[in-house]
Every structure is written in C-alpha cells, then in structure tokens.
Amino acid sequence: MFLDYYISRSCSYQKFIERTPKNRERLDNVYSSATIPEKYKKQIKEIKSTIRLLVFAENWCSDTVLTIPVLAKLAELNDNIDLLIVPRDDVIEEFKQDFLTEGKAKIPLVLFLLDKTKEVKRWVERTQQTNERIKEIKAQHVKKSEIYRSVVELYLKKGTIDETTKVLACELIKVELIASSSN
C-alpha cells in the first residue's frame, strides 16, 4: 500500500524534534503546557485498538509546533497509540501528489490509521476556533511579520494549547469508536 512508503520514512517524536533546533524551545513549551483533561485521559488509556498516527510535519511550521507535542503527549497515554512523523519536506513531491488539501500541501496533516495502514480519519493544520482567531489577526494587521508574530503568540497561549489538546483527544476517541463499531 502507498502509505508504507511514508511509514518507512517516518521517525519518532524525539528524532523529529532533534532534526532542527529552530523551534525546540517552543515545542518543549507546548509539550509542558499541554494538559489532558481527566475525562479524555481515562478514555484514551482505555483504547484497545491499535491506532497509528501518521503525521506529515516540519519544525519550521507554527501549526506543527502546536500540534506535534500535543499528539506526543496523547500517544504516551497508551501503548496502542503509535505516533510516526514524516518530515514533509523529505517527501514533498510525493506529498503534493497524494495529500493536497484545498489545492495546497498543508501541514501538519494527521492520518488516523487502523490496521497499520487503513485511514479512518484525517486532521489538517489547526482547530476551527484557532482558524477563526487567525482570521481576526489577519484583519487587524497588514504586515506579514506582525501577523506571524501574533499567530506565534496565539499558539503559545494556554487556552489555544488546551483547545488543541481537547480536539485531538476527541479525534482519538472517535477513532476508537470507529474501530470498535467495525468489529
């Protein structure tokens, strides 16, 4: 299957953050700030299905800096959750052929897989609420540098991290429901 190609080029969270020091401090900050609510934590710990999270990402991407540490923290709760990260720029041409979103090579792209390579769910970039906040930021600023700075500040806020954590936790729980309903 074509996903095997990407899986063979994936790495662990630790290897991914070691690839470049550019955003290491921000990645670590998001990781340490991410708090998983007890109700989600309990449900994730009870997941029985093997769920593989195949994530296309790059350390230079602010959306990645927000998402990857949260996924790592969620995956640590259950040995049945396997987090594999594909550095998107290493497979950019193939990625453009296989995974365009709205005509663009958007990252992070999270594929929720069952049975190692069966895609059952997909998550791209950021939460809807964060998208709305970014639209507001873009409406307030003209300069790209101001927009970027404001988006980075938004991503490091505890509320944004918590929101992302809840949404991704719910996505994992939904995948478990899909898996259990198909058995």
Residue 139 lies in a domain: yes
User: Got the DSSP string for 21-75?
Assistant: STTHHHHHHHHHH----HHHHHHHHT--S-EEEEEEE-TT-HHHHHHHHHHHHHH
Residue 183 is predicted with a pLDDT of 66
Domain that holds residue 129: 2-178
CA distance 173 to 137: 31
**CATH assignment at residue 165:** 3.40.30.10
CA distance 49 to 45: 11
Cβ neighbours around 34 below 10 Å, total: 20
End-to-end CA, the chain: 22
Structural domains of the chain, count: 1
**Beta pairing partners, 84:** 54
What would the pLDDT profile of 95-123 be if each residue is shown by its tens digit? Answer: 999 999 988 899 999 999 999 999 999 99
Instruction: Pick out the chain residues at pLDDT < 70.
Output: 1, 183
Residue 120 is predicted with a pLDDT of 96
Pairing of strands 118-124, 81-87: unpaired
What would the pLDDT profile of 33-50 be if each residue is shown by its tens digit? Answer: 999 999 999 999 999 999
Residue 72 lies in a domain: yes
